Structure 1
Amino acid sequence: MPTLTKLVSMQEASEHNSKDDCWVVIDGKVYDVTSYLDEHPGGDDVLLTATGKDAKEEFEDVGHSQDARDMLKNYFVGEIDPSAATIPETKQEERANTIQKIKDLTRQYWAVPVAVVGISVVLSFIYLRRK
C-alpha cells in the first residue's frame, strides 16, 4: 500500500522561518529542522537564512556528507506542491530589502574606525609639530 506524501506549498514552508519553527526546502522536499538547529555544525543562522526558498544549491555547495543526507529523512515533512504558487513577490522584495539594508550597514560601519584613526593621525601630527 503506497504512502501518501504531504504536499506543502512554498508559501506554507516559508512561513516556518523562526528558531521555534524552522522548515527548510531542499530539492523540492520539505524538512522540519527545528529540533536540529542547536546541533547544526554551521550554526542555526545558516538554516534560518535558508528558509523561504529551495536551498538545494546552498546544501550542495557545502558538500554535506552521506550521513547528513541520511539524517534529512528524520526531518522530512513532505514535498513542495508544484501546482501551488511560489512565495509572493512582497516576501521576496522584503527579503531583498533586508539584504540591501545589511549591505548598507556594513558599508557605513567601516567609516567610523577609519575616521577615528584619521583624526588621531592628524591630531598627533599637529601635537608633534608644536613641540
Structure 2
Amino acid sequence: NNIFSRSHFGSSAYCQSPPRTRFSTMPTKAEVAAHNKEDDCWVIIGDEAFDCTKFLADHPGGKKAIMLYAGKDCTEEFDMLHERKVIKKYGIKQGTVTNMGKVS
C-alpha cells in the first residue's frame, strides 16, 4: 500500500527531464482536487502539489494506492512510509513526478 516505493525510484526506466510547472501561480486545493483521474492524478504532500500521473502504471504497490489519494492531501500516509527527499531525489529527477508548486 505504499504511495511511492523506494525500490522503484532507483529505476533507470525514466530518464526524461521533468516538464516545467504548468502554473505561474500557486495551485489551490480546489484545482488539485480536479486532478483525480488515472490520466490526470495530482496529490498534495506537505504544502506542495505533485503530478503523479506518469508514476501510476509502474507503482510497485499498484496504482490503487495512489488513486486513493488522487486530488487529495496524502501527507500523513506518505510520511508514514517515506522520507520527503525521495520525491525530489528520485521522482522529480527521474521525470515520473512533477512538482506543480506550493498549494495556496
TM-score, scaled relative to structure 1:
0.51
Partner of 1:48: 67
The aligned amino acid for 2:101 is G
**Separation in 1 of the partners of 2:85 and 2:47?**
18
Aligned residues: CA RMSD: 2.3
Partner of 1:11: 30
CA contact (8 A) 2:41 2:71 kept: no
SS state at 2:32 partner: helix
- Structure possessing the higher relative contact order (Cα contacts under 8 Å, 6 or more residues apart): 2
Query: What are the equivalent positions in structure 2 for 1:30-109 lying under 5 Å apart?
Result: 30-63=49-82, 66-73=85-92, 74=95, 75-81=98-104
Structure that is richer in helix per residue: 1
Measured against aligned partners, the alpha-carbon deviations of 1:82-125 in whole angstroms (never above 9, x if no partner) come to xxxxxxxxxxxxxxxxxxxxxxxxxxxxxxxxxxxxxxxxxxxx
Q: Which has the larger radius of gyration?
A: 1
Partner of 1:21: 40
Paired residue total: 78
Which structure 1 residue ranges, 5 or more long, are not aligned? Answer: 82-131
Q: Which structure 1 residue ranges, 4+ long, deviate > 6 Å from structure 2?
A: none
Q: Classify 1:61/1:54 alpha carbon distance in 2 versus 1 (closer, same or farther; 3 Å).
A: same
The aligned amino acid for 1:28 is D
